[in-house]
Amino acid sequence: MFKPHVTVACVVQAQGKFLVVEETINGKALWNQPAGHLEADETLVEAAQRELYEETGICAQPQTFIRLHQWIAPDNTPFLRFLFCIDLEEQLPTTPHDSDIDRCLWLDAQQIVNAGNLRSPLVAESIRYYQRAERYPLSMIGAFNWPLS
Protein backbone atom coordinates (compact mmCIF):
# COMPACT_ATOMS: atom_id res chain seq x y z
CA MET A 1 0.00 0.00 0.00
CA PHE A 2 1.23 3.48 -0.91
CA LYS A 3 1.65 5.63 2.23
CA PRO A 4 3.00 9.11 1.48
CA HIS A 5 4.11 11.43 4.26
CA VAL A 6 1.47 14.09 4.93
CA THR A 7 2.91 17.53 5.60
CA VAL A 8 1.60 21.05 5.97
CA ALA A 9 3.28 24.36 5.15
CA CYS A 10 2.38 28.04 5.45
CA VAL A 11 3.26 30.88 3.14
CA VAL A 12 3.35 33.75 5.64
CA GLN A 13 3.41 37.25 4.12
CA ALA A 14 3.54 40.68 5.72
CA GLN A 15 4.30 44.03 4.09
CA GLY A 16 5.51 42.34 0.90
CA LYS A 17 7.98 40.05 2.70
CA PHE A 18 7.73 36.31 3.26
CA LEU A 19 8.70 34.39 6.37
CA VAL A 20 11.20 31.57 6.00
CA VAL A 21 12.73 29.36 8.64
CA GLU A 22 16.38 28.41 8.50
CA GLU A 23 17.61 25.05 9.72
CA THR A 24 20.97 23.36 9.45
CA ILE A 25 20.86 19.98 7.73
CA ASN A 26 24.10 18.09 7.08
CA GLY A 27 26.06 21.24 7.90
CA LYS A 28 24.16 23.45 5.44
CA ALA A 29 21.76 26.28 6.33
CA LEU A 30 18.54 25.60 4.40
CA TRP A 31 15.38 27.68 4.02
CA ASN A 32 11.81 26.44 4.20
CA GLN A 33 8.35 27.72 4.90
CA PRO A 34 7.12 26.95 8.42
CA ALA A 35 6.22 23.32 7.78
CA GLY A 36 6.04 19.85 9.23
CA HIS A 37 4.18 16.58 9.53
CA LEU A 38 0.52 16.05 10.32
CA GLU A 39 0.06 14.40 13.73
CA ALA A 40 -2.60 11.75 14.42
CA ASP A 41 -4.70 13.92 16.73
CA GLU A 42 -5.04 17.07 14.60
CA THR A 43 -6.70 18.43 11.50
CA LEU A 44 -4.64 19.84 8.65
CA VAL A 45 -5.37 23.41 9.74
CA GLU A 46 -4.44 22.61 13.35
CA ALA A 47 -1.19 21.05 12.14
CA ALA A 48 -0.33 24.16 10.11
CA GLN A 49 -1.06 26.41 13.08
CA ARG A 50 1.02 24.21 15.42
CA GLU A 51 3.98 24.06 13.05
CA LEU A 52 3.89 27.83 12.58
CA TYR A 53 4.01 28.36 16.35
CA GLU A 54 6.71 25.72 16.97
CA GLU A 55 8.99 27.00 14.23
CA THR A 56 8.43 30.77 14.53
CA GLY A 57 6.65 31.53 17.80
CA ILE A 58 3.85 33.23 15.85
CA CYS A 59 0.26 32.38 16.82
CA ALA A 60 -1.87 32.68 13.71
CA GLN A 61 -4.38 30.49 11.94
CA PRO A 62 -4.22 29.85 8.22
CA GLN A 63 -6.70 32.05 6.37
CA THR A 64 -6.93 30.21 3.07
CA PHE A 65 -5.74 27.08 1.30
CA ILE A 66 -3.40 27.51 -1.67
CA ARG A 67 -2.54 24.08 -3.07
CA LEU A 68 -1.91 20.40 -2.50
CA HIS A 69 1.40 19.21 -3.91
CA GLN A 70 2.06 15.53 -4.48
CA TRP A 71 5.82 15.23 -4.56
CA ILE A 72 8.60 12.65 -4.46
CA ALA A 73 11.72 13.94 -2.73
CA PRO A 74 15.19 13.22 -4.13
CA ASP A 75 15.53 10.34 -1.64
CA ASN A 76 12.33 8.82 -3.15
CA THR A 77 10.17 9.70 -0.12
CA PRO A 78 6.64 10.46 -1.29
CA PHE A 79 4.82 13.47 0.16
CA LEU A 80 1.42 15.11 0.13
CA ARG A 81 2.08 18.74 1.12
CA PHE A 82 -0.90 20.93 2.01
CA LEU A 83 -0.03 24.60 1.51
CA PHE A 84 -1.82 27.34 3.44
CA CYS A 85 -1.72 31.14 3.34
CA ILE A 86 -1.38 33.59 6.23
CA ASP A 87 -1.33 37.30 5.43
CA LEU A 88 -0.27 39.42 8.40
CA GLU A 89 -0.56 43.20 8.68
CA GLU A 90 3.02 43.54 9.92
CA GLN A 91 6.21 41.53 10.20
CA LEU A 92 6.04 39.99 13.65
CA PRO A 93 9.07 39.15 15.78
CA THR A 94 9.93 35.46 15.83
CA THR A 95 11.04 33.07 18.55
CA PRO A 96 11.45 29.50 17.32
CA HIS A 97 10.43 26.85 19.87
CA ASP A 98 11.72 23.99 17.72
CA SER A 99 15.40 23.31 18.39
CA ASP A 100 15.88 22.35 14.72
CA ILE A 101 15.17 25.94 13.63
CA ASP A 102 18.19 28.26 13.78
CA ARG A 103 16.37 31.48 12.93
CA CYS A 104 13.54 33.05 10.97
CA LEU A 105 13.92 35.61 8.18
CA TRP A 106 11.54 38.02 6.45
CA LEU A 107 12.60 38.08 2.78
CA ASP A 108 11.22 39.30 -0.50
CA ALA A 109 9.90 36.79 -3.02
CA GLN A 110 12.88 37.02 -5.39
CA GLN A 111 15.37 36.31 -2.60
CA ILE A 112 13.53 33.07 -1.90
CA VAL A 113 12.79 32.01 -5.47
CA ASN A 114 16.40 32.62 -6.54
CA ALA A 115 18.04 31.14 -3.41
CA GLY A 116 20.44 28.26 -3.74
CA ASN A 117 19.76 26.96 -0.24
CA LEU A 118 16.09 25.92 -0.32
CA ARG A 119 15.16 22.78 1.58
CA SER A 120 13.18 21.65 -1.46
CA PRO A 121 12.02 23.13 -4.76
CA LEU A 122 8.54 23.33 -3.20
CA VAL A 123 9.66 26.38 -1.20
CA ALA A 124 10.07 28.48 -4.36
CA GLU A 125 7.04 26.84 -5.98
CA SER A 126 4.93 27.83 -2.97
CA ILE A 127 5.90 31.48 -3.39
CA ARG A 128 5.01 31.30 -7.09
CA TYR A 129 1.57 29.89 -6.25
CA TYR A 130 1.06 32.59 -3.64
CA GLN A 131 1.86 35.23 -6.26
CA ARG A 132 -0.78 33.78 -8.60
CA ALA A 133 -3.34 34.80 -5.96
CA GLU A 134 -5.21 31.50 -6.19
CA ARG A 135 -6.86 30.96 -2.81
CA TYR A 136 -9.45 28.51 -1.64
CA PRO A 137 -11.57 28.51 1.52
CA LEU A 138 -10.36 26.31 4.36
CA SER A 139 -13.68 24.47 4.15
CA MET A 140 -12.34 22.87 0.97
CA ILE A 141 -10.29 20.55 3.17
CA GLY A 142 -12.59 20.42 6.20
CA ALA A 143 -12.55 17.49 8.60
CA PHE A 144 -15.62 15.25 8.44
CA ASN A 145 -17.16 14.03 11.71
CA TRP A 146 -13.88 14.87 13.43
CA PRO A 147 -14.13 13.45 16.95
CA LEU A 148 -11.32 15.53 18.43
CA SER A 149 -12.82 19.01 17.92
Confidence of residue 147 (pLDDT cuts 50, 70, 90): confident
| pTM confidence score | 0.93
pLDDT at 61: 95
Query: What is the tens place of the pLDDT at every residue in 66-98?
Result: 999 999 988 899 999 999 999 999 999 999 999
* Residue 142, pLDDT above cutoff 90: no
Residues 130, 124: Cα–Cα separation, whole Å: 10
Helices (H) and strands (E) in the chain, counts: 3, 7
- Each domain of the chain, given as residue ranges in start order, spans 5-141
Assigned CATH for 5-141 = 3.90.79.10
DSSP string, 15-84: TTEEEEEEEEETTEEEEE-SEEEPPTTS-HHHHHHHHHHHHH-------EEEEEEEEE-TTS-EEEEEEE
Taking residues 23-27, report their average pLDDT: 94
* Residue 146, pLDDT above cutoff 90: no
The mean pLDDT value of the chain amounts to 94
pLDDT at 148: 65
Taking residues 101-110, report their average pLDDT: 97
